Amino acid sequence: MLRREEKKYLLKLARETLERHFEGKGDLIPKSMPFKNLEKKAGTFVTLEEEGELRGCIGHIIPVNPIYKDVAENALNAAFQDPRFVPVVKEELGKISIEVSVLTVPKTLEHKSAEDLLSKLRPGVDGVIIEFEGRSATFLPQVWEQLKDKKEFLRHLCMKAWLPQDSWKAGDCKIEVYQVECFSESI
């Protein structure tokens, strides 16, 4: 669990990283960290919204960097590397709100059948990763807000992975789940 001041720091870091990018300043990731807890490695996602609409979302599921470095890197990636969107321009920055998700390490969700899988999924709690036939995709737990039905959620996750919509029913389809600590600039 992150403390309130750590969450505020990460949100400020994400915004300042984007601002510094537009100012042409190098060295966007801080060299030192005032919070030891943020030096731990964890997967993170940064989500950008503009006027309530998704504008970019990129992250790492598996811990690869200290939390603070991952948030700074993912803020830039969400703004400029999300293939679903054109890159953010400086004039948009004032209209963009930032959300950060810090992930637990994913765990395989053992299931014997499609029905068993459906019974074990926890809408609004679990982020879900699907892996099948060399393809994979994930939805953060926040996606349950738009896709409340478990079957619809899994069908859309399959489509995101460029898989047939019912791939989640296959016996050799791997499902992993994780949880997030999610916070936005409104905290």
Share of the chain above pLDDT 90, in %: 90
116-169 residue pLDDT tens: 999 999 999 999 999 999 999 999 999 999 999 999 999 999 999 999 999 999
At residue 109 the predicted structure's pLDDT band, cuts being 50, 70 and 90, is very high
Between CA 179 and CA 101 the distance in angstroms is 9
Domain 107-179, architecture per CATH: 2-Layer Sandwich (3.30)
Q: Characterize the bridge pairing of strands 127-132 and 135-139.
A: antiparallel
**Burial class of residue 45, CB neighbours in 10 A (0-12, 13-18, 19+):** buried
Hey, where are the domains in the chain?
Answer: 4-103, 107-179
44-72 residue pLDDT tens: 999 999 988 999 999 999 999 999 999 99
Domain 4-103, architecture per CATH: 2-Layer Sandwich (3.30)
pTM of the model as a whole: 0.88
Between CA 58 and CA 49 the distance in angstroms is 12
Between CA 31 and CA 20 the distance in angstroms is 15
Question: What is the side-by-side order of every strand in the sheet holding 96-103?
Answer: 53-59, 44-50, 96-103, 180-184
Q: Tell which residue, 83, 187, 183, 176, has the closest CA to residue 127.
A: 176
